């Protein structure tokens, strides 16, 4: 599969502050993977694995930050606008109260990616605080992000489907009009699982 020269599709995951700590029962890995669990959120590690590390971080960390529903749209639109301004193709983004997922083509250089996502966090934070002034002194985002490479068409479709459909009814979801498709696959506006959401779709959070 080919991408724009010098770029690579990534499934980017950003958590809100203190919602996924080292030692988390859902699995974890720290920077450079110096410490990591034996499982992940799909196949969680044993509950007693890294229990001491989990207790340590739970005791010293502050309260977990969850974005108010009222700011999700503003945050999402700010991130979409920022990536578009920087000319990075964005296929889909979903923002829930505790995390952000997006499928985006970025330079194939980790330090550049960190800078780009740092700006996404900055503009997302500014939009959230403009919408809800009570967030003025709140640290919204966790340090560090996940940038999963997406190197074939099947993985790309699966990531798109996961972001668009599996983030829960409380997520704000945006799917690009005529979503960019990796070279080598059919250049359709949307892949089959997302046909019902074709074209610059925004799904607003639904609170039960």
Bridge partner residues of 141 (DSSP): 16
Give the pLDDT of residue 135: 97
| Helix 69-85 / helix 110-131 crossing angle, nearest 10 deg | 140
45 and 78 assigned to the same domain: no
Residues with Cβ within 8 Å of residue 49, at least 6 apart in sequence: 37, 38
- Contact criterion met (CB below 8 Å) for 172 and 76: yes
In a domain, 148, yes or no: yes
* Band of residue 59 on the pLDDT scale cut at 50, 70, 90: very low
Rounded-to-integer distance, Cα 88 and Cα 106, Å: 6
- The residue among 43 and 67 whose pLDDT is bigger is 67
Phi, psi of 56 (to 5 degrees): -60, -50
In a domain, 208, yes or no: no
pLDDT surpassing 70 at residue 78: yes
Token couple for 1: 């599969």
Bridge partner residues of 93 (DSSP): 102, 174
Listed in sequence order, the DSSP H helices in 61-152 are 69-85, 110-131
Averaged pLDDT for residues 59-82:
88
Is this model's pTM higher than 0.75 or not? no
176 and 164 assigned to the same domain: yes
Rounded-to-integer distance, Cα 95 and Cα 174, Å: 9
In a domain, 1, yes or no: no
Residues with Cβ within 8 Å of residue 38, at least 6 apart in sequence: 27, 45, 46, 49
Q: How many CB atoms lie within 10 A of CB 14?
A: 21
- The residue among 101 and 191 whose pLDDT is bigger is 101
Give the pLDDT of residue 28: 45
Q: How far is CA 167 from CA 92, 154, 178, in A?
A: 12, 19, 21
Give the pLDDT of residue 187: 39
* Band of residue 171 on the pLDDT scale cut at 50, 70, 90: very high
Note down the domain range covering 71. Answer: 7-15+65-203
Give the pLDDT of residue 40: 53
134 and 47 assigned to the same domain: no
193 and 165 assigned to the same domain: yes
In a domain, 2, yes or no: no
Give the pLDDT of residue 87: 94
CATH number of the structural domain spanning residue 167: 3.30.70.1290
**Least reliable range by pLDDT among 21-35, 91-105, 149-163:** 21-35
């Amino acid at each position: 599969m080919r991408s724009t020269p010098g770029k690579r599709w990534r499934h980017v995951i950003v958590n809100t502050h203190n919602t996924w700590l080292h030692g988390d029962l859902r699995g974890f890995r720290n920077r450079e993977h110096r410490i990591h669990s034996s499982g992940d959120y799909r196949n969680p590690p044993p509950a007693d694995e890294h229990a001491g590390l989990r207790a340590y971080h739970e005791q010293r960390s502050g309260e977990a930050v969850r974005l108010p529903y009222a700011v999700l749209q503003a945050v999402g639109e700010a991130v979409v606008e920022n990536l578009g301004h920087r000319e990075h193709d964005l296929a889909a983004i979903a923002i829930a109260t505790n995390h952000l997922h997006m499928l985006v083509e970025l330079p194939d250089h980790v330090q550049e990616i960190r800078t780009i996502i740092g700006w996404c966090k900055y503009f997302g934070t500014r939009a959230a605080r403009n919408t809800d002034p009570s967030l003025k002194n709140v640290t919204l985002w966790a340090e560090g992000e996940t940038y999963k490479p997406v190197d074939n068409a099947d993985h790309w479709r699966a990531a798109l489907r996961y972001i668009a459909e599996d983030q829960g009814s409380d997520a704000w979801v945006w799917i690009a009009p005529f979503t960019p498709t990796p070279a080598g696959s059919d250049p359709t506006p949307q892949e089959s699982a997302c046909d019902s959401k074709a074209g610059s779709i925004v799904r607003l959070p639904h609170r039960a």
